[in-house]
């Protein structure tokens, strides 16, 4: 029987790759290149890669791949926070509507076990997947790991409350020169509001690379 990963047939990988190039929106490849450029800029810094919002694992696997080709599996840990299943519901109207449309279009996220199978298939090591509502898992993780240092924080949870929790708990863990990368700034209301409120009055510049309008990022002073 053909090996399957999250429902994908490993023997059809060339078809999937061709399908990506033939069908993907013009913005998808530039976003991957932007992540690559941003990753290259943190390789001399200490600290983990932390992704908040893993969904089906695409950007998490991307960062793990960049670590593999630019550094080494043990240069830094990659940590992913997500519900790993259903998108946690929100009361706020705009966020609730966003979640309904998002799940309607793309379905539920990958499970922890399925993503671990993918990492085993790719021979990736030195990673951690933290399942649950970020409103609880991030403060818990910080209290258990007060020494956490972050070189690159990728925020991609779309909605307001988890974005606030992430910024309140993890921004201070980002090392000087490190990056906070926003997938949804200026495009999704909840995350945009959280970012604007958190950085209001702070001396930071939200930047973009010329090759892609997503992501935006801040380089911490
Ligand atoms: C846009 S997707 C992430 C996409 C992924 N970074 C990528 O590019 O491949 C957003 C993810 O954030 C997760 N998420 C949003 N709010 C959350 C919360 N409060 N706790 C845990 N996960 C949350 C959702 O379940 C979903 O998997």
Domains of the chain and any CATH numbers? 26-219 (3.40.50.150)
Cis peptide before 215 (omega within 30 of 0): yes
State pLDDT tens for residues 26-75.
999 999 999 999 999 999 999 999 999 999 999 999 999 999 999 999 99
Q: Are 47 and 95 in contact (CB under 8 A)?
A: no
Would the CB of 88 count as within 6 Å of ligand 1?
Answer: yes
22: tokens are: 């033939």
Average pLDDT over residues 135-145: 98
Average pLDDT over residues 129-153: 98
- Using alpha carbons, select from 30, 71, 26, 17 the residue that is nearest to residue 48: 71
Q: Are 179 and 42 in contact (CB under 8 A)?
A: yes
Question: 3-state DSSP call for residue 181?
Answer: strand
Average pLDDT over residues 203-215: 95
Average pLDDT over residues 193-221: 96
| Nearest atom, ligand 1, residue 134 CA | 20
Q: C-alpha distances in angstroms, 109 versus 13, 24, 84?
A: 20, 20, 5
Q: Is the pLDDT of residue 174 over 80?
A: yes
Ligand 1 mutation target, pool 30, 32, 83, 166, most atoms within 8 A of CB: 83
For residue 27, report the phi and psi dihedrals to the nearest 5 degrees. -80, -15
State pLDDT tens for residues 94-113.
999 999 999 999 999 999 99
Residue 1's pLDDT band (boundaries 50, 70, 90)?
Answer: low
pLDDT confidence of residue 16: 97
Closest CA to ligand 1's atom 25: 87
Residue 19, C-beta contacts closer than 8 angstroms, at least 6 positions apart: none
> What's the order of all strands across the beta sheet hosting 78-82?
127-131, 78-82, 48-52, 150-155, 174-182, 216-219, 207-208
- Sign of the CA dihedral 182, 184, 186, 188? negative
Average pLDDT over residues 75-83: 98
Residue 201's pLDDT band (boundaries 50, 70, 90)?
Answer: very high
Work out the angle between the directed axes of helices 58-70 and 112-121 (0-180°, nearest 10). Answer: 30
Query: What average pLDDT does the structure give for the chain?
Result: 97
Would the CB of 151 count as within 6 Å of ligand 1?
Answer: no
Q: pTM of the full predicted structure? A: 0.97
Residue 2's pLDDT band (boundaries 50, 70, 90)?
Answer: confident
Q: Is the pLDDT of residue 208 over 90?
A: yes
């Amino acid at each position: 029987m053909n090996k399957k990963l999250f429902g994908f047939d490993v023997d059809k990988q060339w078809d999937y790759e061709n399908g990506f190039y033939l069908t993907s929106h013009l913005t998808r490849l530039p976003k991957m290149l932007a992540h690559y450029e941003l990753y290259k800029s943190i390789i001399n810094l200490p600290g983990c890669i932390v992704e908040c919002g893993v969904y089906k694992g695409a950007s998490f696997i991307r960062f793990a791949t960049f670590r593999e080709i630019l550094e080494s599996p043990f240069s830094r840990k990659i940590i992913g926070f997500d519900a790993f299943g259903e998108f946690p519901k929100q009361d706020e109207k705009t966020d609730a509507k966003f979640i309904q449309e998002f799940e309607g279009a793309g379905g539920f996220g990958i499970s922890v076990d399925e993503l671990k199978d993918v990492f085993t298939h790719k021979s990736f090591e030195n990673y951690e997947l933290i399942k649950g509502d970020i409103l609880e898992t991030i403060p818990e993780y910080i209290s258990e790991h007060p020494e956490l240092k972050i070189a690159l924080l990728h925020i991609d949870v779309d909605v307001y409350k988890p974005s606030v929790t992430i910024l309140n708990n993890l921004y201070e863990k980002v090392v000087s020169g490190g990056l906070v990368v926003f997938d949804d700034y200026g495009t999704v209301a909840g995350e945009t509001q959280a970012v604007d409120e958190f950085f209001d009055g702070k001396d930071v510049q939200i930047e973009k690379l010329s090759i892609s309008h997503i992501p935006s990022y801040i380089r911490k002073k």
